[in-house]
Chains A and B, each alone.
Chain A
């Protein structure tokens, strides 16, 4: 399989790097301080391909921290609030769109 770093990186707007934490699999976001956070609000925002490539390279290097990093689009509100840029990321952030059976 092609490494994420070998793939062409082209972004159309503000983006972040996201992955799943290695030990428990939860959704995490790459922060600006070379770490991971479970909060989208903590994610580092990249605005061009070079920035995206650099952030992704840093994330890929942290293989013990998180797996499967990739670049995902986000939307920025007027107040700077970060929102997922597509349905998949919305579901990853907010959880399943259905009531879980055990909660029924």
Chain B
């Protein structure tokens, strides 16, 4: 966990007071909606179909148990008893009253949580690998650098009125769990030949209306130069980014239109002017941040304790362990992913009761710490292997032991037309039906790793472009129609999916997905060949034939 200091606490508290005053002035009519809109957005408050939506930041996905309890409290006291974890390490409350928001923010501020950087045309919540600091083979904990960027960019005037929102993600592992290639800036922690820590910097990735995979702009930027290099990119973006057309305002469009060579020359020129300024980071600054990340006092525990050996005889436990438990840097411990994708439920939702119970389990089994991943699941990052059977039983009682992590029912979906004012079509009911179709665990296991991503509009909050199977809802002649892509992926080999053919109606989506999956099972060379690899090998055609032969 990161220990916030007095500056952080003061900043967060002052922000609450300021927003309380702004809300008061809005409700009294002193501020018009036009004047107030930007202020509420800077505090994570959107207006959705049925109510205001309140988005709260969980920087780099790290959450303490008392913070999760505070989120449960907000869900219970000010909302309808649940929250929705998003694809960018935030949580959203869908039913909150504007008049209650200052109190909700004040309650969250008591545990160091806020809504800064969750909306508006500024630097958004810096995201990272949800296994940061515990994944084996990591270069180093990427959250140290995420925190550095968070501190530098929070309320920074130069980054508060950008042409459009701006998102950064950081990973430090070979396997990219932070989707860095589809962010405005993606950072991959690496070591150079001298053993110094630095970053491969990618720029111009993003999804939405015009998707792009990020391009490498610099193969190595030394850690001490990270802020100046990011600032150089942002300055070029601030100068040239399109403010006249919202659809062309993201940095990905600028990088595409200028070309990566010209864009990088502009950045280089800017960088040389600021590189040796106060933006150069002293080692002490990094060490200070590093020292504020407090790691658990791990015990020396056996790699294969008796408890685990005995539990392995239970096929239900084994099914869960196989998909939910990952290796930890300390061999006596594991990382446990908690699926927020029960069969038939909205992806990423957790009730206040579940949040409270998970906070208790985090205290009991994970040194009081949890993580939030962009796949809309949670994780307990430090679970002793001997505790896995007991934890599984406790999770099962809460309905949180669905053994489907990374399987076809572990679906990423945006809120869609059920909640969102931008959406054209529903996402959640599609996800629910798909989980019912593939509820049989043996079938899901037979299919293997397969990510389905669903978005209810072209803004792509469900990251459909990079789903192994991507589903995009659009509206056509007053009806919901869904376009289906296959072959996308969000990891280190990130790729955009390809459309398989004409859109299909709401009621046909699950049938089409079943057809695609059946085609895959028939076409794969061996059981280990993942769906996405079969698509890469064969292309879209055989799947297209299967889907449209009878339609």
Which A residues form the contact surface with B (CB < 8 A)? 20, 22-27, 63-64, 67-68, 86-88, 91-92, 95-98, 100-102, 104
Closest to A1 in B: B34
In the assembled complex, which residues on chain A have CB atoms less than 8 Å from the CB atom of B29?
A: 63-64
Contact assessment for B417 and A88 in the assembled complex, using a CB-CB cutoff below 8 Å = yes
Decide if B26 is an interface residue (CB 8 Å cutoff): yes
**Residue in contact with B33 in the complex, picked from A63, A86, A96, A101, CB distance below 8 Å:** A63
Find the B residue at minimum CB distance from A24. B97
B432 at the interface (CB under 8 A from A): yes
- Kindly provide the distance from the CB of A89 to the nearest chain B CB, expressed in whole angstroms: 9
User: With A22-B26, A24-B98, A87-B478 in contact, do A104 and B32 touch (Cβ < 8 Å)?
Assistant: no
Our pick among A22, A63, A68, A101 for the contact of B82 (Cβ within 8 Å) is: A101
Closest residue on chain B to residue A67 by CB atoms? B33
Q: Is the CB of B417 within 8 A of A25?
A: no
Q: Is B50 an interface residue (CB 8 A)?
A: yes
In terms of DSSP, what is the predominant structure of the interface of chain B?
mixed
- Whether the pair A20, B99 counts as a contact (CB closer than 8 A) is no
B255 to chain A, nearest CB (A): 26
The minimal Cβ–Cβ distance linking A90 to chain B, given in whole angstroms, is 10
CB<8 Å pairs between A and B, sample of 15: A20-B47, A22-B33, A24-B51, A24-B52, A63-B33, A64-B29, A68-B33, A88-B49, A91-B49, A96-B419, A96-B428, A97-B418, A97-B426, A101-B82, A101-B349
**Which residues of chain A are within 8 angstroms of B350 by Cβ–Cβ distance?**
101
What residues of A have a CB within 8 angstroms of the CB of B429 in the complex?
Answer: 97-98
- The chain B residue with its CB closest to the CB of A98 is B428
A98 touching B478 in the complex, CB below 8 Å, given contacts A22-B27, A23-B97, A91-B418: no
Main DSSP-derived SS at the A contact region: loop
Are B47 and A92 in contact (CB-based, < 8 A)? Answer: no
Residues of B within 8 A of A100 (CB): 80, 82
Whole-angstrom CA separation of A68 from B33 in the bound complex: 9
The answer to whether A26 touches B51 (Cβ under 8 A) is yes
Query: Which residue of the partner chain, among B28, B51, B432, contacts A98 with CB atoms under 8 Å?
Result: B432
CA distance A20 to B37 in the complex (A): 14
Residue of B at shortest CB range from A23? B99
Known: A25-B97, A98-B346. 16 other contacts (CB 8 A): A22-B33, A25-B48, A25-B50, A63-B33, A67-B47, A88-B49, A95-B50, A96-B419, A97-B426, A100-B82, A101-B82, A101-B346, A101-B350, A101-B351, A102-B82, A102-B352
Q: How far is the CA of A24 from the CA of B98 in the complex (A)?
A: 5
Instruction: Pick the 4 closest A-B CB pairs, nearest first.
Output: A102-B81, A25-B51, A24-B97, A25-B52
Interface size bracket, B side? 20 to 34
Contact of B480 with A by CB under 8 A: yes
Chain A CB count within 10 A is highest, among B29, B52, B81, B429, for: B52
Q: Give per-residue flags for B442-483: 1 if the beta carbon is below 8 A from chain A beta carbons, else 0.
A: 000000000000000000000000000000000000101000
**Measured CA separation A15–B26 after assembly (Å):** 29
A88 to B417, CA, bound (A): 7
Distance, CA A24 to CA B97, complexed state (A): 4
Tell me if B308 counts as interface (CB < 8 A to partner A): no
Cβ of B194 to closest chain A Cβ, rounded Å: 51
| A60 to B, closest residue via Cβ | B33
With both chains docked as a complex, state the minimum distance between the C-beta of A38 and any C-beta of chain B, in angstroms: 11
Cβ < 8 Å to A, chain B residues 36-64: 47-52
Q: Which residues of A contact B519 (CB under 8 A)?
A: none
A64 neighbours in B (Cβ, 8 Å): 27-29
Neighbour of B480 across the interface among A23, A68, A87, CB < 8 A: A87
- Bound CA–CA A55/B81 (angstroms): 37
Give the residue of A68, A91, A98 whose beta carbon is less than 8 angstroms from that of B47: A68
B residues near A25, Cβ cutoff 8 Å = 47-48, 50-52, 96-98
CB of B345 closer than 8 Å to a CB of A: yes
Which B residues touch A88, using CB under 8 A?
A: 49, 417
List B contacts of A102 (CB < 8 A). 80-82, 351-352
Cβ B349 vs Cβ A24 within 8 A: no
Q: Which residues of B contact A23 (CB under 8 A)?
A: 27, 97-99
B201 → A minimal CB distance (Å): 34
Across-interface contacts of A98 in B (CB, < 8 A)? 346, 418, 428-429, 432
Complex alpha-carbon distance, A64 and B429, angstroms: 35
B345 to chain A, nearest CB (A): 7
A20, A63, A101: the one contacting B345 at CB < 8 Å is A101
Which parts of B396-442 form the interface with A (CB within 8 Å)? 417-419, 426, 428-429, 432
Q: How far is the CA of A97 from the CA of B98 in the complex (A)?
A: 24
